[in-house]
Amino acid sequence: MHTISELNNKWWYRLIKVGYLLLIMAACVISIAVAFEDVGTYQTDYLVVCNYGNKSTFIANKDKDIWNIPQYYDYSESLAKLPDSTKIQLQSACGISQAEMNAKFENPNDNKKLFDLTETKVNTTSYWSAILWSILSIIITFAIAEIIRRIFYYIVLGKVKPVK
């Protein structure tokens, strides 16, 4: 055998082609399913409102990569249960200076906290990112399939790009 048309006359080659195509389709379907698996799911995060410093508003984990805020606590009354490292990260993200902190602690009658934390839900994956991952995974699947096909041709016909 020296050409693909001679190979097409063999029943085992046609069976391999059918199995090969089914395998490629299954890989594409699985990769698309995995890419869209997290679309529409949410995770708990915290909306931070800075009362001092830059007076900005941001989402702790998503925007500033502040992740170690313990869940299941109501921070509307007190921030005492926050870890010290998290408090330092939040103060830095809010741009609260040492002078502002000293002024805050010198005036204990001021009921305003350095920052407010409100639990919120954040979408983990958007449709656009899932579509892009799907396209990328399909391209990779077809590239790997083409490499496997060329290796098969080299083994059976002795050429990477055989004559039809």
Look at the pTM and tell me if it is higher than 0.75: no
d(Cα 138, Cα 28) in Å, to the nearest integer?
6
Do 119 and 54 fall into the same domain? yes
Q: List the one residue out of 38, 15, 30 whose CA is nearest residue 140.
A: 30
d(Cα 1, Cα 7) in Å, to the nearest integer?
7
Q: How far is CA 95 from CA 6, 61, 101, in A?
A: 74, 17, 11
Do 90 and 143 fall into the same domain? no
In a domain, 164, yes or no: no
CA atoms within 13 A on the CB side of 159: 8
Which strands make up the sheet holding 42-50, listed edge to edge? Answer: 57-59, 42-50, 115-123
Do 46 and 116 fall into the same domain? yes
Helix or strand or coil: residue 45?
strand
Expressed as residue numbers, the domain containing 19 is: 4-38+127-157
Do 87 and 118 fall into the same domain? yes
What's the domain count of the chain? 2
- E strand or H helix at 23, and its extent? helix 11-35
d(Cα 16, Cα 137) in Å, to the nearest integer?
23
Do 111 and 91 fall into the same domain? yes
| Ordered per-residue pLDDT tens for the chain, 164 residues | 678 888 888 899 899 999 999 999 999 999 999 988 878 777 788 889 888 888 888 888 878 888 788 877 777 777 778 888 888 888 888 888 878 777 777 776 666 788 888 888 887 778 888 899 999 999 999 999 999 999 999 998 888 888 88
In a domain, 163, yes or no: no
Do 67 and 107 fall into the same domain? yes
d(Cα 10, Cα 72) in Å, to the nearest integer?
66
